[in-house]
């Protein structure tokens, strides 16, 4: 990279560019007519114009506002889904992260607990959420292990 960044690097950049391509991008490059590109800037612009639809879309922090905990979704699943979305957001402000996380909780006892205790940091929220997740898992295990009673037993 240091070599490419030196003075008069246009020809080197143009020759090195295709070595990083494969698949459709390499096919596109190979179909360029000789003499149609006069600078690396023109090559880059042409490439971007051709493959703009393939660009990875990066969400902004306001995207987190649409992530809501489903009616029958466990807190653990919601937190996992939320965390996956936050990874895609560059420079996410922790206060925005915490606000969106709390706002997305479904109505219920845990949401009320969070509203009352008002965790000030993500770490504090996660501590409370961990306790709630343990309660949910215990309740789920009890439901699964609960023996089904017959009418005779009643």
The fold of 61-145 is 1.10.1200
Give me the mean pLDDT over the 3-23 stretch. 74
- Residue 133 φ then ψ, to 5°: -65, -40
How far apart are the two ends of the chain, measured CA to CA in Å? 78
Q: Where are the domains of the chain?
A: 10-54, 61-145
The pLDDT tens digits of the residues spanning 128-140 come to 999 999 999 999 8
Q: Is 78's pLDDT higher than 80?
A: yes
Q: What pLDDT does residue 54 have?
A: 66
Question: Encoding tokens for residue 69?
Answer: 């905990």
Residues 6+ positions from 82 with CB-CB distance below 8 Å: 64, 67, 100, 101, 104
Query: In a 10 Å sphere around its CB, with 0-12 CB exposed, 13-18 middle and 19+ buried, how is residue 105 labelled?
Result: buried
**Residue 2 confidence (pLDDT):** 42
């Amino acid at each position: 990279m240091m070599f490419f960044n030196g003075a008069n690097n246009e020809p080197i950049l143009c020759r090195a560019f295709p070595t990083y391509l494969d698949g459709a991008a390499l096919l596109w490059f190979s179909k360029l007519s000789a003499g149609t590109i006069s600078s690396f800037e023109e090559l880059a612009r042409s490439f971007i114009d051709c493959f703009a639809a393939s660009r990875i879309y990066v969400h902004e922090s306001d995207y987190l506002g649409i992530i809501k905990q489903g009616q029958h979704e466990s807190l653990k699943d919601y937190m996992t889904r939320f965390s996956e979305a936050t990874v895609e957001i560059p420079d996410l402000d922790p206060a925005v992260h915490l606000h969106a996380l709390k706002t997305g909780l479904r109505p219920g006892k845990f949401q009320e607990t969070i509203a009352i205790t008002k965790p000030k940091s993500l770490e504090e929220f996660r501590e409370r959420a961990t306790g709630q997740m343990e309660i949910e898992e215990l309740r789920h295990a009890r439901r699964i292990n609960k023996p089904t009673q017959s009418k005779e037993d009643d």
